[in-house]
Structure 1
Amino acid sequence: MEDKKHEVKSGILIVFLVFLVTTTGLMLFILSRDTIYRGVSIENVEVGSLTQNEARNLLKEKLQNAIDEKKIELKYDKQSWVISGIDIEYGYDYNKAIEKAYNLGREGNPFKRIEKIIELYKNKENIDLETTYSKEKLNNILIGIEKDINKEPVDASIYREKGKFVIIEEQLAPHLSREETEKVIHDKLKENSNNMVIPLVVKTVGPRITKDDLGQIKSLLGYYVTRFNTGKVQRSSNIKTAGASINGIVLMPNDEFSFNDSVGPRTIQQGYKPAPVILNGELIEGIGGGICQVSSTLYNAALMSNLEIVERYNHSIPSTYVGKGRDATVSYGVLDLKFKNNLAYPIYIESYVHRNQMIIRIYGNKIDNTVTQIKTKLDEIKKMPIETKYDNGLTQGSERIEKKGRKGYKVSTYRIIYKNGKIIKNEKISKDYYRPSKQIIIRGTKTIPKVEHKDVDNEGVEPEQIIQN
Structure 2
Amino acid sequence: MQKQQSAPKPEKGKNRAPLVCAIVGGVIALLFVLLCGFTYLYPNVFPGVTAGSIPVGGMSLSAAERAIEEKSAPLYEDADVSVKIYETTYDIPVASVLKGVDAAQSAQNARAIGRTGNPFSRIWQMVKALAGQGDAQLAATVDADGLNKALTDIAKEALTDPVEPTWDIGEDTMTIHAGKPGVKFDGAAVEQALADKICLMDFAPYEVDTELTETPQIDMDKIGEAVIGGPVNATVDKADGKTIIPEKPGVEFDQEEAKKIVGDGTAESYSIPIKKTAAAVTAADLKEKLFRDTLARTATELNEGNVPRTNNIRLAAKAINGTILNPGDEFSYNGVVGERSEARGYKPAGAYANGKIIEEFGGGVCQPSSTLYMAVLRADLEVTERTNHSFTVAYTPLGEDATVDYGSLDFRFKNNTAYPVKILAEQSNGQMIMTIVGTKTSDKSVKTRTEVLQTYGFKTVEKKDNSMKVGQTRVDQSGITGYSTRTYKQITENGKTTEVLANNSRYDSRDKIVYVGTIEPEKPKPEAPKPETPAKDPEQSGEQTPETSGGGEAPPAEQDIDT
- CA 1:419–1:170 in 2, change beyond 3 Å: closer, same or farther? closer
Q: Does 1:431 align with 2:504?
A: yes
TM-superposed deviation, 1:226 = 1.2
Q: Does 1:268 align with 2:349?
A: no
Query: Is contact 1:72–1:84 with CA below 8 Å preserved after alignment?
Result: no
- CA 1:432–1:457 in 2, change beyond 3 Å: closer, same or farther? same
Partner residue of 2:76?
none
Query: Is contact 1:156–1:214 with CA below 8 Å preserved after alignment?
Result: no
- CA 1:210–1:230 in 2, change beyond 3 Å: closer, same or farther? farther
Residues of 1 paired with 2:359 and 2:531: CA distance? 67
TM-superposed deviation, 1:292 = 0.9
Partner residue of 1:353?
427
Q: Does 1:308 align with 2:382?
A: yes
Residues of 2 paired with 1:337 and 1:287: CA distance? 19
Counting only pairs closer than 5 Å after superposition, residues 19-418 of structure 1 correspond to structure 2 as 71-72=85-86, 80=154, 81-83=157-159, 133=213, 156-157=237-238, 167-168=242-243, 213=286, 215-217=288-290, 218-418=292-492
TM-score of the superposed pair, with normalisation by structure 1: 0.56
TM-superposed deviation, 1:421 = 4.9
Residues of 1 paired with 2:415 and 2:482: CA distance? 34
Residues of 1 paired with 2:301 and 2:533: CA distance? 78
Query: Is contact 2:183–2:212 with CA below 8 Å preserved after alignment?
Result: no
- CA 1:351–1:457 in 2, change beyond 3 Å: closer, same or farther? closer
- CA 1:187–1:432 in 2, change beyond 3 Å: closer, same or farther? same
More moved, 348-357 vs 335-344: 348-357
- CA 1:212–1:450 in 2, change beyond 3 Å: closer, same or farther? same
Letter in 2 for 1:418: T
- Equivalenced residue count is 303
Query: Is contact 1:404–1:440 with CA below 8 Å preserved after alignment?
Result: yes
Residues of 2 paired with 1:337 and 1:76: CA distance? 57
Residue deviations 1:424-448 (CA, integer Å, cap 9, x gap): x211111111111122222334433
TM-superposed deviation, 1:393 = 4.6
Letter in 2 for 1:274: P
Partner residue of 2:520?
447
More moved, 269-278 vs 240-249: 269-278
Query: Is contact 1:385–1:436 with CA below 8 Å preserved after alignment?
Result: no
TM-superposed deviation, 1:283 = 2.1
**Pair member with larger Rg:** 2
TM-superposed deviation, 1:370 = 2.1
TM-superposed deviation, 1:420 = 5.2
- CA 1:446–1:293 in 2, change beyond 3 Å: closer, same or farther? same
TM-superposed deviation, 1:348 = 1.5
Residues of 1 paired with 2:397 and 2:308: CA distance? 23
Of all paired residues, the percent bearing the same amino acid is 33
Letter in 1 for 2:530: D
Residue deviations 1:25-54 (CA, integer Å, cap 9, x gap): xxxxxxxxxxxxxxxxxxxxxxxxxxxxxx
Question: Which of structures 1 and 2 has the larger relative contact order (alpha carbons within 8 angstroms, sep 6+)?
Answer: 1
Residue deviations 1:92-112 (CA, integer Å, cap 9, x gap): xxxxxxxxxxxxxxxxxxxxx
- CA 1:443–1:337 in 2, change beyond 3 Å: closer, same or farther? same
- CA 1:72–1:433 in 2, change beyond 3 Å: closer, same or farther? same
Residues of 2 paired with 1:222 and 1:408: CA distance? 29
- CA 1:387–1:245 in 2, change beyond 3 Å: closer, same or farther? same
TM-score of the superposed pair, with normalisation by structure 2: 0.47
Partner residue of 2:203?
none
Query: Is contact 2:159–2:185 with CA below 8 Å preserved after alignment?
Result: no
Query: Is contact 2:236–2:420 with CA below 8 Å preserved after alignment?
Result: no
Partner residue of 1:29?
none
Query: Is contact 1:157–1:169 with CA below 8 Å preserved after alignment?
Result: no
- CA 1:157–1:88 in 2, change beyond 3 Å: closer, same or farther? closer
- CA 1:460–1:386 in 2, change beyond 3 Å: closer, same or farther? closer
- CA 1:261–1:215 in 2, change beyond 3 Å: closer, same or farther? farther
- CA 1:82–1:372 in 2, change beyond 3 Å: closer, same or farther? closer
- CA 1:211–1:361 in 2, change beyond 3 Å: closer, same or farther? farther
Letter in 1 for 2:501: K
Query: Is contact 2:236–2:242 with CA below 8 Å preserved after alignment?
Result: no
Which of the numbers 449, 453, 458 marks the counterpart of 2:531? 458
Instruction: List gaps (5 residues or longer) in structure 2.
Output: 1-82, 93-152, 162-181, 187-210, 217-234, 247-264, 268-281, 546-563
Query: Is contact 1:413–1:431 with CA below 8 Å preserved after alignment?
Result: yes
Query: Is contact 2:460–2:512 with CA below 8 Å preserved after alignment?
Result: yes
Residues of 2 paired with 1:77 and 1:300: CA distance? 65
